[in-house]
Amino acid sequence: MSTFQPDKSKVREVLDTVKAAGRGSLTAPEGKRVCEAYGIAVPQEAVATSAPEASKLAQGMGFPVVMKIVSPDILHKTEAGGVIVGVKDAAEAASAYEQIVANAKKYKADAAILGVQVQQMVKGGQEVIVGAMTDASFGKLVAFGMGGVLVEVLKDVTFRLAPATREDAGSMLDSIQAAEMLKGVRGGKPVNREALEDTIVRVSQLVSDFPEIAELDLNPVFASDTGAIAADVRIVVDFQPKTPRYRPDEKSVVAAMNRIMKPRAVAVIGASNETGKIGNSVMKNLINGGYKGTIYPIHPKEAEIMGLKAFRSVKDVPADIDVAVFAIPAKMVALALKECGEKKIAGAILIPSGFGETGNIEGQEELQRIGREYDIRLMGPNIYGFYYTPSNLCATFCTAYDYKGTTALSSQSGGIGMAIIGYSRSAKMGVSAIVGLGNKSDIDEDDLLLFFEQDENTQVIAQHAEDLKDGRAFAEVARRVSKKKPVIMLKAGRTAMGAAAASSHTGAVAGTDRIYDDVLRQSGVIRAKSLRQMLDFARGVPILPTPKGENVVIITGAGGSGVLLSDACVDNGLKLLKPMPKDLDEAFRKFIPPFGAAGNPVDITGGEPPITYMNTVRLGLEDDRIHALILGYWHTIITPPMVFARNMVTVVNEMKQKGKVKPVVASLAGDVEVEEAAQYLYENGIPAYAYSTEIPVEILGAKYQWARSGGLLK
């Protein structure tokens, strides 16, 4: 079925007619022809010009049929008595023909009557909806949902980027709330998944091949065990092509981003000796941050700034410069940017505000024009700058940051950027980069993904975004990058109120959240629900090894934690190994008191010495049927927090030596000493939290989500 070859010329022909006629939508017969050209099943229909012909046509389709007047002069067919439904046999078809023509003549004597349309009546199975739309950020999307009240009242619809693969289509059938209905309810037969998937794939292909199709609705589609037939087709067209967002080729992006992130020389435009000035903070951070390349302060008058020779313009610098950090008022930016262009600088870090976010759209567009003309990439404007720790580069007015690691973060908002810096420092989260994107006049999330994809210093990418200027580009890049490195996103403006706030704040118009949710998942992106969760994921996901299978086991000293950890497993899509294989269950039982509970959670009970934790965890790491461990520690005098922590690290490392590498997370219940133990565990590869049973499991869940979407799990 899926090897069907569409007849593009037939669609072209229909669309040309519509365009020539200056229409904005297709007639029902036109819509049907378009569907037929793409192998999308529609009810059979034909126009009869006599009663005997109507009988014959109806017999060919099978009964019942519906019959409708065809006349350019009759708009309201039902009102004119021009529609008869439920025609049951050949005789009825003939008399219905006569009746409809008579009614039409009576309704409007001079109406031109072209005949009577005979149409197969499709019923039975489940009513579903398949559609396509054009989103300002994501472009063509295909939609699927249940028909009737389910879509109207419960908004039970799911989206994917078009064109959708057959796998995408299959996932759509499973990701609506009422998915179970497709499997047959009340003794009904399951729908033919293949036919529905075909319909989705072909609709998505059709709108991708013909971008002028702005909207398409098949509503309802009758999905039964034998097939899927679209009973009604509505197609809206738009022949005005949109200007796509500027998007350099990937090689150029990576080349420019490498010069920006690993520059041999940095200019600071507006460098200053005066404490409190942004240009002074930037200089201090570059110097104190330990940047080893050359720094060129640019200042109209000063000869030396912070002990470094200053220049009046970048053009006066007698060497190549890779990056210019701007710390000058908005109105002076354009001129300086041109000079950077002439100097062939790769990137301009536009800290100044006073552009798009304050309504100065023209000012921002001017920068974009200059950037394009001279081929300089622009970061910002309206940002705090950026950090790239492998280069010891703190190109920002915030405090210097030097805790190196493999997590790259970015934020659209400066405030969120500061929260990232604070959390990173407080939690000792190692980062490779923290980047402010602000107004995103040019460099945006997908540019960063392209750089971090090939950056040997980055293992995980976490981004805060209020909108995606080019969601399509992001999704395409993310789909590839996320297979190699986990990509985490905090999408702000999820709710209508949040979106309204986003739009007043940055001029960004947030898309419907369900679309973001679906497309991010389709692209393999892990979506964080909250700022704190994004930060926890950014910290925990990179240090966890990738699991090799779905079997999770909880080992806990506190039965109560076991219950909450089990709840958290369900909430985060983790599968507990259940029932525990008999031999494994017995093996665990050997280590725990007789009143402890094996099974899963393995409840070792509260009064146990360190060896019990060690024995059970060692067994959990050793046995190949177990793929991940969640530990629930209970603070007791017999096993104090740091004793537990050190022992766990010992066992995990010991098993690592033997090639048994599995993700382990821990929840610590106890007095304040558990905080130190949690930090120690975290720094030694075991994400651990005090006073929380949820967060460690959320982190493990995020790692699993990534492993699954990358096809790394069976």
Contacts of 555 (CB under 8 A, 6+ apart): 601, 602, 604, 613, 616, 617, 620, 629, 630, 631, 632
Contacts of 620 (CB under 8 A, 6+ apart): 553, 555, 602, 626, 629, 662
- Give the three-state DSSP class for 537: helix
Q: What's the closest the beta carbon of residue 525 comes to its own copies, in angstroms?
A: 18
CA distance 564 to 557: 13
Counting contacts by CB under 8 A, is residue 419 touching its own copies? Answer: yes
C-beta of 95 vs 177, nearer to its own copies: 177
CA distance 684 to 119: 70
Counting contacts by CB under 8 A, is residue 184 touching its own copies? Answer: no
Q: Which of residues 154-183 bind its own copies (CB under 8 A)?
A: 154, 177-178, 180-181
Q: What one-character DSSP code corresponds to residue 356?
A: G
Among 509, 563, 649, 712, binds its own copies (CB under 8 A): 563
Counting contacts by CB under 8 A, is residue 505 touching its own copies? Answer: yes
Residue range at the interface with its own copies (CB under 8 A); choices 64-72, 117-125, 264-272, 598-606: 598-606
Q: What's the closest the beta carbon of residue 592 comes to its own copies, in angstroms?
A: 12
Q: Which of residues 641-670 bind its own copies (CB under 8 A)?
A: 668-670
Among 56, 166, 425, 708, binds its own copies (CB under 8 A): 425
Among 158, 556, 615, 705, binds its own copies (CB under 8 A): 556
Between strands 664-669 and 628-634, the pairing is parallel
CA distance 6 to 276: 65
C-beta of 248 vs 560, nearer to its own copies: 560
Q: How many residues bind its own copies (CB under 8 A)?
A: 95
Please report where in the chains the tokens 């579903």 appear, as a residue: 128
Q: What one-character DSSP code corresponds to residue 147?
A: -
How many other β-carbons are positioned within 10 Å of the β-carbon of residue 322? 21
Q: What's the closest the beta carbon of residue 582 comes to its own copies, in angstroms?
A: 16
Q: Where are the alpha helices (DSSP H) in 289-329?
A: none
Q: Which of residues 679-698 bind its own copies (CB under 8 A)?
A: 690-695
How many other β-carbons are positioned within 10 Å of the β-carbon of residue 524? 22
Residue range at the interface with its own copies (CB under 8 A); choices 85-93, 208-216, 514-522, 597-605: 597-605
C-beta of 230 vs 690, nearer to its own copies: 690
Backbone angles phi, psi at 231, to 5 degrees: -80, -25
Among 358, 368, 454, 653, binds its own copies (CB under 8 A): 358
Q: What one-character DSSP code corresponds to residue 311?
A: B
Q: What's the closest the beta carbon of residue 475 comes to its own copies, in angstroms?
A: 21
Q: Which of residues 526-555 bind its own copies (CB under 8 A)?
A: 530-532, 535, 554
How many other β-carbons are positioned within 10 Å of the β-carbon of residue 108? 14
Q: What's the closest the beta carbon of residue 330 comes to its own copies, in angstroms?
A: 10
How many other β-carbons are positioned within 10 Å of the β-carbon of residue 471? 27
CA distance 260 to 350: 13
Among 569, 664, 699, 702, binds its own copies (CB under 8 A): 569
Binding mask 463-482 toward its own copies (x if CB under 8 A, else -) reads: -x-x----------------
Counting contacts by CB under 8 A, is residue 60 touching its own copies? Answer: no
Contact 657, 636 (CB under 8 A): no
Among candidate residues 411, 415, 452, the one with its CA nearest the CA of residue 435? 411
Among 456, 497, 711, 714, binds its own copies (CB under 8 A): 497
Residue range at the interface with its own copies (CB under 8 A); choices 48-56, 147-155, 312-320, 362-370: 147-155
